[in-house]
Amino acid sequence: MKRALITGIDGQDGSYLAEFLLEKDYEVHGVIRRVALEDPEHQLWRIKHILGKIKVHAGSLESYPSLFSIVEKVKPDECYHLAAQSFVSYSFEDEFSTINTNINGTHYVLSAIKERAPKCKFYFAASSEMFGHAKEVPQNEDTPFHPRSPYGISKVAGFDLTRNYREAYGIFACNGILFNHESPRRGFEFVTRKITNAVAEIKHGLSKELRLGNLDAKRDWGFAGDYVKAMWMMLQQDKPDDYVIATGETHSVGEFVELAFGYAGLDWKKFVIIDKNFYRPAEVNILQGDYSKAQNKFRWEPVVKFKKLVEMMTEADIKRASGKNNPSTCNVPVK
Ligand code: GDD
């Protein structure tokens, strides 16, 4: 039985990846912050249904000793390093903690693997945010990075650390350059979930408006459930490498808004207010990924495309707001 260690197992991607690996008969271990372990009802809602099947370890990206001892104890065959401060907006408010936590956390996990489990295959959650002010559209593995946020900068450093551990120490280390990926388990601070949650609340008379920033920003949005499969596939190849994972389509925030409100039979113009407070000091205007390398190398394809994704998320939030039981979103705190 293969052993996998997932940092950030309680996040959107961690929860889908844990389910995927359990189905493949992996022994699944997860690193979770102690504060979350102490409040499972609110903080572990995405993995509540599999808590009996996985092993969780208290650890923090800020503590090398905690990560070192978990790697030493678990001796994983595969490590998926997903944990990070991942909200771009917040990284402008507190640059130092985002940069410190994200860069050091990645460095600590890589170093612990090198010292205690050098045969372990390592996956780093790199990001399309690294392309930032992108030099070309669509972006592929050769597109130069020009990050536009402290978060993006931290991911470029994580990417370089991962590649360097591969080249310098022979670790089987891969970077997954994932474009935006969403689901009914997405955090409420990200624009897609903020929109679908607001649509559901407006539909049920719980809210009257939705305040948003830049509606013109364009993103390549895919489904998180499809993307975790790509993470695993990268680690099953003969050689470690870096891959773009995307849908190949780009859509504006405004298009997402229109589709989500339309799905609920609402006219978005009556509810959406543009609020400059949600604009970013530096914006990433357009992301669109060229995933042909992953497609050619291991035949990965996105299954859920834009329209279906918007409908899936809107429907799940409408059901949740109406009190119906939806296993993927139950116990989500309503903001
Ligand atoms: N969050 C948010 N809230 N974003 C808004 C809003 C708002 O009210 N109004 C407009 N936007 C715009 C943002 O300016 C941005 O251009 C776009 O919506 C998407 O924002 P997010 O959903 O917060 O995601 P992101 O693209 O910044 O980052 C996500 O994708 C990255 C991959 O490219 C995150 O998941 C990152 O962790 C990930 O690496």
For residue range 272-323, list pLDDT tens digits in order: 999 999 999 999 999 999 999 999 999 999 999 999 999 999 999 999 999 8
Q: What is the pLDDT of residue 328?
A: 46
For ligand 1, atom 12, name the residue with the nearest CA.
Answer: 214
179 lines ligand 1 (CB under 6 A): yes
Residue 138 belongs to what domain range? 3-181+223-245
CATH number, position 229: 3.40.50.720
Closest atom of ligand 1 to 193 CA is 22
For residue range 117-161, list pLDDT tens digits in order: 999 999 999 999 999 999 999 999 999 999 999 999 999 999 999
Residues 6+ apart with CB under 8 A from 17: 6, 9, 80, 82, 228, 231, 232
- Expressed in angstroms and rounded, the spacing between residue 297 Cα and the centre of ligand 1 is 29
- Expressed in angstroms and rounded, the spacing between residue 192 Cα and the centre of ligand 1 is 8
- Expressed in angstroms and rounded, the spacing between residue 132 Cα and the centre of ligand 1 is 12
Catalytic residue among 129, 201, 249, 258: 129
Residues 6+ apart with CB under 8 A from 251: 218, 219, 221, 306
- Please give the model's pTM, rounded to 2 decimal places: 0.96
Query: What long-range pairs does 292-298 form, CB within 8 A, spacing at least 24?
Result: 292/140, 293/140, 293/141, 293/243, 293/244, 294/230, 294/233, 294/234, 294/243, 294/244, 294/245, 297/237, 297/241, 297/243, 298/233, 298/234, 298/236, 298/237
Mutational pocket test of ligand 1: of 98, 127, 189, 191, the residue with most ligand atoms within 8 Å of the beta carbon = 191
Task: Tell me if residue 108 is catalytic.
Answer: no
Residue 291 lies in a domain: no
Based on the fold, state whether residues 50 and 91 are members of the same structural domain: yes
Q: What is the pLDDT of residue 323?
A: 81
Residue 297 lies in a domain: no
Q: What percent of the chain has pLDDT over 70?
A: 96
Based on the fold, state whether residues 91 and 209 are members of the same structural domain: no
C-alpha 145/C-alpha 133 separation (Å) is 8
Task: Tell me if residue 151 is catalytic.
Answer: yes
Q: Cβ distance 311 to 256 under 8 Å?
A: no
C-alpha 198/C-alpha 271 separation (Å) is 9
pLDDT tier at 330, thresholds 50, 70, 90? very low
For ligand 1, atom 19, name the residue with the nearest CA.
Answer: 191
Q: What is the pLDDT of residue 306?
A: 98
For ligand 1, atom 3, name the residue with the nearest CA.
Answer: 191
- Expressed in angstroms and rounded, the spacing between residue 89 Cα and the centre of ligand 1 is 8
For ligand 1, atom 27, name the residue with the nearest CA.
Answer: 88
Asked whether the predicted pLDDT for residue 333 surpasses 80, the reply is no
Based on the fold, state whether residues 229 and 272 are members of the same structural domain: no
Based on the fold, state whether residues 83 and 199 are members of the same structural domain: no
